[in-house]
Structure 1
Amino acid sequence: MNQTYKLPVVVLSLTVLLVIVLLPCQARAGHTGNDKKQFEFAEQLFTDKDFNRAITEYKRFIFLFPDNNLCEKSYYRICESYFKAERWEKAIESLEHFESKFPHSSMLNDAVYLKGMSEKNLKRYDEAISSFKSIIASCSEPLRNKAFYQVALIYVDTEEWDKAREYFLKVSDQNTLYPSAWLFSSGLENIGNLPHKSPALAGTFAAIIPGAGHLYTERPQDALIAFLLNGAFIWAAVELFNDDNYVAGGVVTFFELGWYSGNIYSAVSSAHKYNRRVKREFIQNLKDRCNISYFFDNDNSRHFLMVSMKF
């Protein structure tokens, strides 16, 4: 009787043991297939430029497979997705997290570069320069040249022309960015020769003859309006005083003083606007001639600046 019951117990025990042994193997096999599909799906969204959904899928991959070797790349892809979606603040936040989590990553320098680009886009120039200079201090030649170039562009935006030329000239003549850097550097040598209108002179002209300051700053329509308006008020005030209508003459004179001082202020402002416009058009012309664009190589996880020249 005991032997009759022993056999089923032994079979049941062996079956349970077999299930315990085989189940984790099957789970691991399914786990491996799922992680590959999950990552490939996120990558496809990234390639399709559906960056917000890609971020969600990369985060899902990290949550489901925290020990997978592709987690590092997933964290980096999240950073890139925020950057490409032009969510600069989130890009910086995620890049700082990547730097702290993977301090020895092969993608670390690219992450710092991307952080600098995000800071530059937010016009946080001091922080961007700091990021780019850390690349200059620690990176190999290709990335260093891109960092030199970006620092130079920041100094162009802040109108620090000498510093901009200094960093453009640091770009290696063996690098693809060199022709563009050379063009910028050469162009900035001539920035002091641009047409310039003196604000003081514009104000003086406007004080002598209303409208003359605007004519000096090449705004003939404003010059005509200022001349006619001030002339009309001055003529009206003179006529009223000649007719002994002092109260009305005083009121007209009071308003004319406002128009007259406004004419001087506007002429000075016009000179400043003229100078800013000339500089802006000159710099934009340089940028258009260089035609700088940003490119990312998905296969190698590397960032590139593409430059085409116009002569």
Structure 2
Amino acid sequence: MKIVFLFLLLCTATVQFAQTGNVDFNSPYNIKKFADYLFCDKDYLRAALEYERLTDTNMSDTTEIKIALSYSYIKDYYSAIQKFSGIIKPSVYFNEAKLEEMKVNFLINDFAELRSYFKNSFITEVGKYQTEGEKLFNYSYLFTDDELPLKDEFILPFDVKEKEKISSFYDWKKEPPYKDGTLAGIMSAIIPGSGKIYVGETGDGIVAFITTTVFAFIAYDNFEAGHTTRGWIWTGVAALFYAGNVYGSVAAAQVHNAKITFEFNEGLNIYLNKKNYYIPKYEFCD
């Protein structure tokens, strides 16, 4: 009885193996199924390569946008722009592709191309996401030194919840809290350390004032006592600290300004990432 059972089990396994062996893994259906799995597993490069094995007749609107998104997600922005620009009407993802194209231009800091594309193509060709496109268009001015639009026009496309935050970004860009390096140097030339205090480095400013003053006094005292050689030595030391105090104040202003700029840009990027660059959420893997 056991022998018969084992025989039947072996036959069943053999049939199943034979059926599995007949599966065509290179069929369009299986290629797409595997690519979908890779995409949802966030293996975007392999997903894109699998999708691209499909012929034009087997390519769907969803597949096209997934290929473009895959390249965007792996930061192959050149390929992403090519794929997004290749998605044309009547694709159901035409509008999303054009907005994604603006996002990629934003990510590569090609703000001139972003603005040109928005004004010359996006406004006239895209039916949806006009508000989102205008937000990205306006936002791009915060990353460049180009003249800002009027504030009312700038914040117009943003909703009520965003307006306060965007308004603060605009005000900062319009009048950044920079420190004048030349003024810091002049102040420290007149009163040692005052330039650093102006920049916000109060402790360093006080130290610079004390050290420069002390060495200058020592030099003066030695001259008064008739120790000319030592007087000149201490004069040189005092002059060195004095010059360093002036130079340090100018440098401190430059460092301060660089830090302010970095923090501002970082804040912009964090906010944009939080908003996902105003791109709609896709439901491909839910």
Give the TM-score of the pair, scaled to structure 2. Answer: 0.69
Aligned to 2:160: 179
| Deviation of the 1:115 alpha carbon | 2.9
- Alignment gaps of 5+ in structure 2: 1-22
The answer on whether the counterparts of 2:28 and 2:58 sit within 8 Å (CA) in structure 1 is no
| Deviation of the 1:283 alpha carbon | 7.9
CA distance in 2, matches of 1:81, 1:185: 30
Report the CA distance shift for 1:275/1:49 in structure 2 as closer, same or farther (over 3 A): same
> Over residues 40-65 of structure 1, what are the superposed CA-to-partner deviations in whole Å (9 max), with x where a residue is unaligned?
22112212222122123223x33xxx
Aligned to 2:31: 38
Pick the aligned partner of 1:84 from 63, 73, 79. 73
| Deviation of the 1:31 alpha carbon | 7.4
Pairs aligned (count): 258
CA distance in 2, matches of 1:54, 1:194: 44
Give the TM-score of the pair, scaled to structure 1. Answer: 0.65
The answer on whether the counterparts of 2:87 and 2:94 sit within 8 Å (CA) in structure 1 is yes
- Alignment gaps of 5+ in structure 1: 1-29, 172-176, 302-311
Greater RCO, 1 or 2 (C-alpha within 8 Å, sep 6+): 2
Mean Cα deviation higher: 243-252 or 75-84: 243-252
CA distance in 2, matches of 1:232, 1:79: 67
Q: What are the residue-to-residue correspondences of 1:1-311 with 2, within 5 Å?
A: 34-59=27-52, 61-62=53-54, 66-70=55-59, 73-85=62-74, 87=75, 90-97=76-83, 99=85, 101-104=86-89, 106=91, 107-133=93-119, 134-140=121-127, 142-158=128-144, 162-163=148-149, 165=151, 168-171=154-157, 177-187=158-168, 190-191=171-172, 197-242=179-224, 246=228, 249-271=231-253, 273-274=255-256, 292-294=274-276, 297-299=281-283
The answer on whether the counterparts of 1:237 and 1:253 sit within 8 Å (CA) in structure 2 is yes
Partner AA of 1:226 in structure 2: A
The answer on whether the counterparts of 1:42 and 1:57 sit within 8 Å (CA) in structure 2 is yes
Sequence identity percentage? 24
CA distance in 2, matches of 1:125, 1:47: 31
CA RMSD of aligned residues (A): 3.9
CA distance in 1, matches of 2:62, 2:177: 51
Partner AA of 2:282 in structure 1: N
| Deviation of the 1:122 alpha carbon | 2.5
